[in-house]
Amino acid sequence: MTSDTLPRIGITARSAEKSYFDGWVRNYWWAVTWAGGQPVLLTPETAALPPEQQVAQLDGLLLSGGGDIHPKHYQQRMRGTEKHAIHDGRDTLELGLARAALAVDLPILGVCRGFQVLNVALGGSLLQHVDGHRSPKEAVSYHEVAVAPDTLLARALGVEGRFPVNTYHHQAVTADRLAPGLRASAATVQGPDLLEGIEAPDRRWTLAVQWHPERFYELDDRHRRLFSEFVAAAGDR
């Protein structure tokens, strides 16, 4: 990246179709744009290059939210994963991109499914179903998380301790399923073993959260700051 160009931020998605973009990708796109980045959409149907070559064209990687990861990628059988929510092409794309990005220390921000992808990419596994964390269609559910001090997440948000977040997931990363090389930076206040933030302390900027910060972006200074810190890290390459 040169000084007169914006950081190129790859945003993963299941599809490039307009209806999917409008419903699931647009908030990420605008959050990256407002933070000073140039969004680049990465989908299975547009992935003409190997992951390493795609990553070489980026300054940062945003692993977005979505459906379930097939448990074969962490050597388990179906035990709560929803078959209709699996997209094999997306699993292949995102796990490949995550590993390629990690190999060159590209800044990474994972969101919801992306939080889980990061853990699986590094050798962790998932709790395939957890009750009480999926918002109903008619309303958004919230719960409190506790952000650990002296972590990248605390610095990126500008906050430590408890604060409320939205919740849209039914799969989870627990403390005993955390991948080598990652550490917990946030957990639910109901149970510290159910993780909500993870990061890689030996890498320059690798961070993921289980909630959806892009849906808070216009309303919450903490989440505007999170995207700004991510894009700034990408711009420092």
Q: How far apart are CA 159 and CA 156, in angstroms?
A: 8
- Which tokens hold the place of 34? 């407002």
Asked whether the beta carbons of 47 and 10 are under 8 A apart, the reply is no
Q: Does any domain span residue 99?
A: yes
Nearest to 65 by CA among 123, 135, 122, 116: 116
CB-based contacts of 236, cutoff 8 Å, min separation 6: none
pTM: 0.93
Cβ–Cβ < 8 Å for 194, 187: yes
Domain harbouring 218, CATH code: 3.40.50.880
Q: Which residue has the higher pLDDT, 19 or 122?
A: 122
Question: pLDDT at position 132, please?
Answer: 55
Question: Does the residue 43 lie in any domain?
Answer: yes
C-alpha span between 181 and 199 (Å, rounded)? 8
30 lies in a domain? Answer: yes
Q: Which two tokens stand for residue 27?
A: 């908030």
Q: What are phi and psi of 236, to 5 degrees?
A: -90, 0
**Confidence grade of residue 84 (pLDDT, cut at 50, 70, 90):** confident
- Structural domain contains residue 34: yes
Rounded Cα distance, 218 and 19, in Å:
22
2 part of a folded domain: no
* Phi, psi (deg, nearest 5) at residue 234: -65, -35
Catalytic: which of 133, 169, 170, 212? 212
Domain tally for the chain? 1
Residue 3 belongs to some domain of the structure:
no
Q: Is 160 a residue of the active site?
A: no
Q: Does 150 fall in a domain?
A: yes
Helix (H, G, I), strand (E, B) or coil at 41: strand
Render pLDDT for 166-182 as a digit per residue (tens, 0 to 9): 888 688 999 999 999 99
Encode pLDDT of 34-75 as tens digits.
999 999 999 998 878 999 999 999 999 999 999 999 999 999
Q: 84 lies in a domain?
A: yes
The better pLDDT of the pair 67, 124 is held by 124
> Which candidate, 136, 58, 150, places its Cα nearest to that of 100?
58
Of 94, 196, 199, 214, the active-site residue reads: 214
Domain assignment of residue 220, given as a range: 8-235
Active site residue 212: yes
- Of 112, 170, 196, 199, the active-site residue reads 112
